[in-house]
């Protein structure tokens, strides 16, 4: 859950508008490829997935100061949307959406941390002369 919280904070900084922004688009493309969606599945799944991301973001904002309640509400959102995902995808792929989402979040956070380290190099240390 803390990874998801960190990602949502990062995602909020990278979004262009209320529809998600570049990061959500990148996530959508990643999930679409990893689930191997057909064109028809993709067309039906995309709006549901984008609604899921918006609901998840709204939940993080609403409960940002109450971690236990935030975790509960996130679980409720996931259960509700898993039912919707299953109407489009088979059960196995509907359940994998969250695993693939987590993979993407880890990947993006790693990229972000790498860029941050490249921008801000470590300070040089001086040799101790005795």
Q: What is the pLDDT of residue 119?
A: 76
**39 domain-assigned:** yes
Q: Is 120 helix (H, G, I), strand (E, B) or coil?
A: coil
Interval 40-56: pLDDT, tens? 999 999 999 999 999 99
Helix 22-35 to helix 39-62 angle, to the nearest 10 degrees? 130
Q: Which domain does 14 fall in, by range?
A: 2-119
**127 domain-assigned:** no
Q: What is the pLDDT of residue 126?
A: 64
**pLDDT tens for each residue of the chain, 130 residues long:** 444 444 444 444 444 444 447 888 899 899 999 999 999 999 999 999 999 999 999 999 999 999 999 999 999 999 999 999 999 999 999 999 999 999 999 999 988 888 888 776 666 666 666 6
**129 domain-assigned:** no
Tokens of 49: 């997935």
Count of structural domains, the chain: 1
**110 domain-assigned:** yes
End-to-end CA distance of the chain: 49
**106 domain-assigned:** yes
**125 domain-assigned:** no
Q: What is the pLDDT of residue 19?
A: 40
Q: Distance from CA of residue 34 to its chain's centroid?
A: 14
Q: What is the pLDDT of residue 34?
A: 94
**126 domain-assigned:** no
């Amino acid at each position: 859950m803390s990874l998801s919280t960190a990602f949502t904070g990062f995602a909020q900084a990278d979004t262009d508008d209320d529809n998600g922004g570049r990061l959500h688009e990148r996530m959508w493309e990643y999930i679409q490829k990893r689930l191997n969606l057909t064109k028809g599945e993709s067309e039906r799944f995309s709006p549901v997935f984008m609604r899921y991301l918006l609901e998840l973001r709204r939940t993080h904002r609403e409960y940002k100061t109450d971690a236990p309640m935030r975790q509960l509400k996130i679980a409720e959102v996931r259960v509700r949307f898993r039912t919707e995902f299953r109407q489009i995808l088979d059960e196995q792929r509907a359940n994998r959406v969250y695993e693939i989402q987590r993979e993407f979040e880890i990947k993006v956070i790693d990229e972000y941390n790498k860029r941050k380290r490249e921008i801000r190099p470590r300070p040089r240390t001086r040799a101790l002369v005795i």
